[in-house]
Amino acid sequence: MKKDFRLTNKKQKRLEELAAYIRRDLIETLVEAGSGHTAGSLGLVEIFTALYFHVLVHDPKHPEWKRRDRLILSNGHCCPVRYVAMAHAGYFPKKYLMTLRKFGSFLQGHPEVTRLPSLETTSGPLGSGSSQAAGMAYAAKMDKANWRVYCIISDGELGCGQTWEAFLFAGKNQLSNCTFILDRNHIQIDGFTEDIMPLEPLEEKFKAFNLHVINCLGNNIGDVIQAINKAKDIEDKPTVIIANTIPGCGIDFMENDFLWHGKVPRPGKEAKKAIQATQISF
Amino acid sequence: MQQTKHVKGLNPDMFLNRNALHKDKLAYIASRDGYGDGLVEAGSKYKQVVVLCPDVTESTRSSDFKKKFPERFIQLGVSEQSLASIAAGMALTGKIPFISCFAAFCPGRNWEQIRTCIALQKTNVKLTGSHAGLSVGEDGATHQMLEDLALMRVLPNMTVIAPGDALQTKKATLALANLKGPAYLRFSREKSPAFTSEKTPFKIGSAYVYHFGNDLTLIATGLLIYEALITAHELSKQGIQARVIYCPTIKPLDKKTIIKAAKETGAIVTIEEAQIAGGLGSAISETTALTTPVPIEYIGVQDEFGESADTQTLFDTFGLSTSSIELAAKRVLKRKYNERVDDIIEYKTVAKKYKQEKQKKIIEEALNRTPKKWL
């Protein structure tokens, strides 16, 4: 069966609703875990919803299906949002979200592919996702396979030389089956990216590395899907989508505050306030 | 008289906290805090000290240095490989660079740069690995650096230090600023018992007898020295007198103290929060094998990766806590007296079994808390 990648208004509305539920469940998951990375995870809710529920050619019941699209999360610390989206998509029962960061769980603090194969790679230390994505895309081209590689990277990890080494390789080999989605949220642990290690002008940098560049609003599902669909039409270059996201998106008191990078809402008042902010009543 | 005086008990010349053996009466301070304090003092004492940091300023407790000496603090973003070489360049121009980083990324990420630009060139760079060992807890295996001691110990010209508490880490930091040459300092995020005092000695290259005993020797590096001390105290109640050697400098090793202990006690247990391959245990074995071969048991991570959990759970289930050390001590004593021991090593199997039980329990408890809407 051929998958329809067009986005109807009805489908978009459904995805937006789903994203709201994922956002709420994400908060509950983080509160239960007691530690983890909140801001980055919240900023990626729409991107993961778009990927798992519209873009990816995949089968949650057969995660090792050979012709699946590969989704790599290079900035592994944002794994909670991926876990929640995967639970919604049917990769594992939702109740396992309660085990995040707990002893013996397949939902480790940083994602580990040996414990949950559908994660595709193990990540956390920044920079190695883009190289692994390029490796997969190169192998797919060797095999003349049709599946695509999507790799989410953070702006903080653009500080890693390895990321740029991967771009050089992807550009050289015209890995058009590889789409990098840059979570451009302007924050990293120590502060704002432009203070820590300025990245701008970013678009020009990517272009100089022979990447096709598309800008989008990363917290707008329609915009994200449109950007990804456009990337698929580019035949001679890998694409990087600069997804402008809001760290802490959807929770008013967390938005754009880098202090929420590496902590979670405390149980009780703070957790309640965060859940209320997701505006899902139940 | 002298002999009996030194058969058991704490060594008074070490000036440990008088409540050293009473865990609940001690303050708990993270060794990274000691590093932060040491950096500020080193910065005041030596104008050439500069701090280079790849986006982990607060986590490595480098913020006080940054505040006090903003012009000597250099932010590099997430670029540990280039950072190691930049530090080498600065050292070659007369600075004393301290690299404030997580052990997983320095030396985990930038080992070749360290090998060539720092160790081989003998540049005066001080590498630090915060958040080392299993005790980084919930972050899981990617961030639980267990191979750093091995990675750094194999490098010629490198000094390798893993202090036992915050105050010792502070002293080590200061000592490193005054040492000419490459060095690696390992410390932790987790709060741990502050059991030494201002008067407790620290010298690079020295190992110290913290507890007297002639039946066997427990040799520990890093935070686990405290567990070793507690184990010795427990063993002493059972009539077994263990010597405890605190060995913060893994390289260069204090061979004199180690060989003396091997000769006098005839049995050794090494204890470290790292892979047993290549670290303290290996260093001790390599030393004693050539001079005074004695039975050795290795407490450490047994060739496996860590995982997410709280620190105490990890220590208990990876065989790093007092009960495991005690089992290892009893096994090595049997070997010393040529008694029969099992081929199956109990201190490993007991921890493994406990790990399985604990995981099952924790996951079951978590699942029982599932909100109704998720079922």
Domain architecture of chain B: domains with CATH: 30-193 (3.40.50.970), 205-358 (3.40.50.920)
Note if B198 is an active site residue: no
What does the pLDDT profile of chain A (282 residues) look like in tens digits? 578 889 999 999 999 999 999 999 999 999 999 999 999 999 999 999 999 999 999 999 999 999 999 999 999 999 999 999 999 999 999 999 999 999 999 999 999 999 999 999 999 999 999 999 999 999 999 999 999 999 999 999 999 999 999 999 999 999 999 999 999 999 998 999 999 999 999 999 999 999 999 999 999 999 999 999 999 999 999 999 999 999 999 999 999 988 898 899 999 999 999 999 887 654
pLDDT tens digits for range A172-209: 999 999 999 999 999 998 999 999 999 999 999 999 99
In the block, tokens 């906290």 appear at B17
**B375: chain A residues, CB-CB within 8 Å:** 94-95
Complex confidence, ipTM:
0.90
Angstrom distance (rounded) from CA A169 to CA A95: 41
Best residue of A103, A121, A261 to probe chain B, by most B CBs closer than 10 Å: A103
Tell me whether residues A97 and B142 touch, CB distance under 8 A: no
The radius of gyration of chain B's CA atoms, rounded to the nearest angstrom, is: 21
Measure in Å the smallest separation between the Cα of A159 and chain B Cα atoms: 5
Q: Is the pLDDT of residue B166 over 80?
A: yes
* pLDDT at residue B82 is higher than 50: yes
Q: Given pLDDT bands bounded at 50, 70 and 90, which one contains residue B5?
A: low
Q: How far, in Å, CA of A178 to CA of B176, rounded?
A: 47
Class of domain A11-110+121-277: alpha beta
Nearest beta carbon to residue A103 from set B81, B313, B369? B313
- B362 contacts in A (CB within 8 Å)? 102-104
Q: Which residues of B touch A (CB under 8 A)?
A: 53-59, 75-79, 81-82, 104-105, 108-109, 138-143, 307-310, 313-314, 317, 358-360, 362-363, 366-367, 369-371, 373-375
* Residues A70 and A149: beta-carbon distance below 8 Å: yes
Contacts of A264 (CB under 8 A, 6+ apart): A30, A31, A33, A34, A35, A36, A38
Residue B2 predicted with pLDDT over 50 = no
Total beta-carbon pairs less than 8 A apart between chain A and chain B: 126
In angstroms, rounded to a whole number, what is the distance separating the alpha carbons of residues B283 and B296?
Answer: 12
